């Protein structure tokens, strides 16, 4: 993606996000996908309860509900008991369906709404499933963390009836990164021709590298020294200009959504999801002047392991897909043209989430309570 195309993408996503938050989306929700931990017995039980309610509650002039997609692993689950659910109404045989990662990859437009049951990890897994177009995501809080899960499951009937009814849903487009790994050519691979900067489809890596893998990231890209005893020495470029040489245990490139995750633990700032920025947070830097900073989301970043590096580096994408970077390898980071749409529970949900989970700016009583009269001494 060229720099001009990247700027157009970032600007378009910002404008669409503003419009979606101002106006609710009113559309018929006929295909609902449920994402949960198939090995968690309690969550499987709740998934069965939710699926049955969606199937049986009449919608849009029909005597039955909507089509429900659950994890294909649940088709054999005794606790989910798909045969027992289908026996309640013969029409359910065509309404209860199963999703697979391949289905999410090939036809994401099939789903009108995705419901997640779990914690933030379940939401990140959902982002991993949809590497391109993402349906609206509504997350119920049933896990240990809750930065991204702002709906309470015990109120699911009221919330879903409102969203699937006349009220509609308000959606926040959360920024994602497109991260591309490029490999230095070996003796058996030929280097790429130098890209044409006037060509919108031209790549943005070094001309001597070969594209290997690409990931859509919701939280962060982490590059660290792995098991090596040496401090990482990484070249950081912005729009093909050398910005600095990173000398640290590693570096975190975080989205505003990921500002409450690893970046925060490493000293990064909290950033509201509506702010279009790339967070750069060093991990134990060699120089104390290397502080966290925010970069424009229209900037194309590239981080490279120098050919003369004493050690390799390792990168992880939302904690998954850990990849080794050898000398000459590099990774590009750009604002994705496929944002992650989350259904808003209320306008101030982000502030509520950091207050609830981090106890942001909450101060407990520090002085011992007064327990009675103290006799005056003359």
Residues annotated as part of the active site: 120
What is the rounded distance in angstroms from the CA atom of residue 295 to the CA atom of residue 359?
27
What is the rounded distance in angstroms from the CA atom of residue 222 to the CA atom of residue 331?
11
> Which residue, among 221, 227, 225, 206, has the nearest Cα to 304 in the 3D structure?
206
Tokens of 182: 């490029």
Spatial neighbors of 79 by CB under 8 A, at least 6 apart, are: 41, 44, 45, 48
DSSP per-residue codes, 195-259: P-TT-TT---S-TT-EEEEEEEESSEEEEE-TT-SSPEEEEEEETTEEEEEEEEEEEEEE-SGGG
Neighbours of 65 (CB within 10 A): 22
> Which residue, among 6, 8, 337, has the nearest Cα to 176 in the 3D structure?
337
Q: Kindly report the backbone phi and psi dihedral angles of residue 16, in degrees, each rounded to the nearest multiple of 5, phi listed first.
A: -65, -40
Cβ 348 vs Cβ 360: under 8 Å: no
Q: What are residue 68's DSSP bridge partners? A: 32, 96
Neighbours of 198 (CB within 10 A): 8
Tokens of 75: 């088709």
Cβ 330 vs Cβ 211: under 8 Å: no
Neighbours of 178 (CB within 10 A): 19
* Residues 104, 106, 112, 117, Cα dihedral to 10°: 0
What is the rounded distance in angstroms from the CA atom of residue 35 to the CA atom of residue 230?
41
Spatial neighbors of 90 by CB under 8 A, at least 6 apart, are: none
Neighbours of 328 (CB within 10 A): 19
> Which residue, among 100, 103, 95, has the nearest Cα to 54 in the 3D structure?
95
């Amino acid at each position: 993606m060229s720099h001009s195309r990247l700027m157009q993408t970032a600007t378009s996503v910002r404008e669409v996000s503003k419009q979606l938050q101002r106006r609710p989306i009113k559309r018929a929700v006929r295909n609902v996908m449920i994402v949960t931990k198939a090995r968690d017995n309690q969550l499987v039980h709740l998934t069965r309860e939710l699926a049955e309610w969606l199937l049986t509650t009449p919608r849009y002039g029909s005597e039955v509900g909507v089509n429900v997609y659950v994890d294909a692993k649940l088709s054999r689950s005794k606790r989910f008991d798909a045969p027992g659910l289908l026996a309640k109404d013969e029409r359910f045989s065509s309404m209860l369906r199963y999703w697979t990662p391949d289905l999410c990859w090939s036809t994401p437009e099939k789903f009108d709404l995705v419901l997640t049951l779990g914690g933030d990890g379940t939401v990140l897994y959902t982002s991993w499933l949809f590497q391109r177009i993402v349906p609206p995501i509504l997350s119920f809080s049933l896990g240990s963390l809750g930065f991204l899960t702002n709906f309470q499951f015990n109120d699911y009937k009221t919330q879903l009836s409102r969203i699937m009814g006349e009220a509609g849903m308000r959606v926040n487009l959360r920024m994602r990164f497109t991260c591309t790994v490029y490999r230095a050519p070996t003796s058996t691979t030929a280097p790429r021709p130098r890209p044409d900067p006037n060509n919108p489809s031209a790549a943005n890596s070094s001309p001597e590298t070969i594209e290997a893998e690409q990931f859509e990231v919701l939280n962060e890209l982490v590059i660290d020294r792995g098991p090596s005893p040496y401090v990482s020495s990484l070249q950081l470029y912005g729009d093909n200009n050398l910005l600095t040489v990173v000398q640290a245990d590693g570096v975190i490139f975080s989205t505003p959504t990921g500002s409450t995750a690893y970046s925060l633990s490493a000293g990064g700032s909290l950033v509201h999801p509506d702010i279009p920025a790339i967070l750069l947070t060093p991990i134990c830097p060699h120089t104390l002047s290397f502080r966290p900073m925010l970069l424009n989301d229209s900037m194309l970043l590239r981080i490279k392991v120098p050919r003369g590096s004493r050690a390799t580096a390792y990168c992880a994408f939302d904690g998954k897909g850990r990849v080794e970077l050898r000398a000459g390898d590099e990774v590009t980071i750009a604002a994705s043209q496929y944002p992650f749409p989350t259904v808003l529970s209320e306008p101030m949900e982000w502030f509520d989430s950091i207050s609830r989970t981090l106890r942001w700016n909450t101060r407990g009583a520090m002085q011992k309570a007064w327990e009675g009269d103290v006799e005056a001494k003359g």
